[in-house]
């Protein structure tokens, strides 16, 4: 096991921004998936030994990490963190990639070869003599990856590696992530809030929500109010005026979450048992390996996940009309 995290808590201003226990496997690509504020970046900084947790333990390759120890440099040499918006030192691109080699006392004659090879790997060899702080976001990200690889790390932690770059660089960086894992055996742990990216890249996905592990992420979250009709049936009414039947004792302003796997899709002729059927139009389809994610407009956008086999039996196309069933008992109200 690469990391074993036991009752790890990070408290900030009296609030637990991280409170988890989990294990992360060696040699794999692990995706930490969660919305903004889920504690993903905090977890990465703790895993990079840059931030001391308030309590709890971390075992790195079976050894307990002693954060109270003044110098964790030796441990940090095995793990490197790439920030969401990496910053390069205000020297040349080459000097930046050479820096980790220099501080590891690698001979000057060897440094040149390694740095050139790494820059070629990320497609930045032409920029070797360029000033690092003049590069674009995507180029900076690629140089930062070469810089990280120069450390010959066992683990690379990446915080939202493609969040602030264009699609061309995103494709390049995703390919680099897979390559460094396959060819160099480096364990990669990256954060993202993009399910598609997590599904494309990760061998394992860890869901984080409000600093805690989650089985999956709450999706299809809407806010609105609970109201009754003349027959005393309760409805959740969104701000857009969409009425969804619910079963609850709550009244007034609430938020609801509908699990995308619990929504059934079908045709008009299908017999839906719940009686809570909506007509909608397919506006987006995403292949998430095991699942196909279908985004349906019913006045609000609802995300539905279908197992690949089920989807292929009767595949709805973009723009196609579908009927979906929202059983009231499957709607979580909070």
Partner 1 sequence: MNFFLDSFKSALQLIWSLDQDLLVIISVSLKVSLFSTLFSSLIGVPLGLAISMGEFRAKRFLITILNTLLALPTVVIGLFVYSFISRRGFLGPIGLLYTTKAMIIGQIILIVPIVTTLTLSAVSRIDNRYRKTAMTLGANSLQTALVIVREGRFAILASVITAFGRVIAEVGISMMLGGNAKGFTRTMTTAMALEFDKGEFTMSVALGMILLFIAFFVNVVFHYLQGKTGE
Of positions 43, 79, 119, 246, contacts partner 1 by CB under 8 A? 79
Short-list 173, 169, 226, CA closest to 200: 173
CB 193 → partner 1: shortest distance, Å? 21
Q: Is residue 148 involved in binding partner 1 (CB under 8 A)?
A: yes
Of positions 99, 190, 236, 291, contacts partner 1 by CB under 8 A? 99
User: Is the CB of 21 or the CB of 91 nearer to partner 1?
Assistant: 91
Q: Give Cβ neighbours of residue 14 (< 8 Å, ≥ 6 apart).
A: none
User: Is the CB of 85 or the CB of 193 nearer to partner 1?
Assistant: 85
259 contacts 271 by C-beta, under 8 angstroms = no
Short-list 89, 134, 98, 92, CA closest to 116: 98
Of positions 21, 90, 267, 284, contacts partner 1 by CB under 8 A? 90
In the numeric block, which tokens belong to residue 32?
A: 């930490």
CB 81 → partner 1: shortest distance, Å? 4
Total chain residues near partner 1 (CB under 8 A): 24
d(CA 81, CA 95): 19
User: Is the CB of 97 or the CB of 258 nearer to partner 1?
Assistant: 97
CA dihedral defined by 87, 90, 95, 99, rounded to 10 degrees? -60
Q: Is residue 151 involved in binding partner 1 (CB under 8 A)?
A: yes
| Residue the block writes with tokens 């460094």 | 180
d(CA 265, CA 53): 45
Rg (CA), the chain: 24
Of positions 15, 36, 62, 73, contacts partner 1 by CB under 8 A? 73
Of positions 8, 58, 81, 304, contacts partner 1 by CB under 8 A? 81
Q: Give residues in contact with partner 1 (CB under 8 A).
A: 45, 48, 50, 71, 73, 76-77, 79-81, 83, 85-87, 89-91, 99-100, 103-104, 147-148, 151
């Amino acid at each position: 096991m690469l990391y074993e995290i036991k009752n790890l808590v990070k408290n900030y201003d009296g609030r637990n921004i991280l409170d988890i226990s989990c294990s992360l496997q060696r040699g794999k690509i692990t995706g930490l998936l969660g919305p903004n504020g889920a504690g993903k970046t905090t977890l990465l900084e703790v895993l990079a030994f840059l931030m001391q947790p308030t309590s709890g333990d971390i075992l790195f390759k079976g050894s307990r990490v002693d954060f109270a120890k003044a110098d964790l440099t030796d441990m940090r040499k095995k793990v490197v963190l790439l920030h969401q918006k990496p910053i390069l030192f205000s020297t040349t691109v080459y000097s930046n990639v050479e820096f980790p080699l220099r501080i590891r006392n690698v001979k000057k004659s060897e440094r040149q070869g390694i740095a050139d090879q790494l820059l070629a790997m990320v497609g930045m060899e032409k920029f070797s003599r360029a000033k690092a702080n003049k590069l674009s976001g995507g180029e900076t990200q690629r140089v930062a990856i070469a810089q990280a690889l120069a450390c010959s790390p066992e683990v690379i932690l990446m915080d939202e590696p493609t969040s602030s770059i264009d699609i061309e660089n995103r494709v390049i960086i995703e390919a680099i992530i897979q390559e460094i894992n396959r060819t160099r055996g480096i364990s990669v742990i990256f954060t993202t809030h993009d399910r598609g990216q997590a599904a494309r890249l990760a061998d394992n996905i860890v869901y984080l929500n409000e600093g805690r592990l989650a089985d999956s992420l709450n999706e299809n979250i809407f806010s609105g109010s609970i109201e009754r009709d003349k027959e005393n049936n309760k409805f959740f009414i969104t701000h857009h005026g969409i009425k969804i039947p619910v079963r609850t004792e709550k009244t007034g302003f609430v938020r609801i979450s509908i699990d995308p796997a619990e929504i059934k899709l079908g045709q008009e002729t299908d017999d839906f048992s719940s009686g809570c059927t909506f007509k909608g139009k397919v506006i987006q389809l995403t292949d998430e390996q095991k699942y196909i994610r279908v985004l349906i407009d019913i006045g609000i956008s609802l995300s539905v996940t279908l197992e690949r086999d089920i989807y292929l039996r009767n595949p709805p196309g973009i723009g196609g009309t579908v009927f979906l069933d929202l059983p009231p008992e499957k709607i979580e109200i909070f």
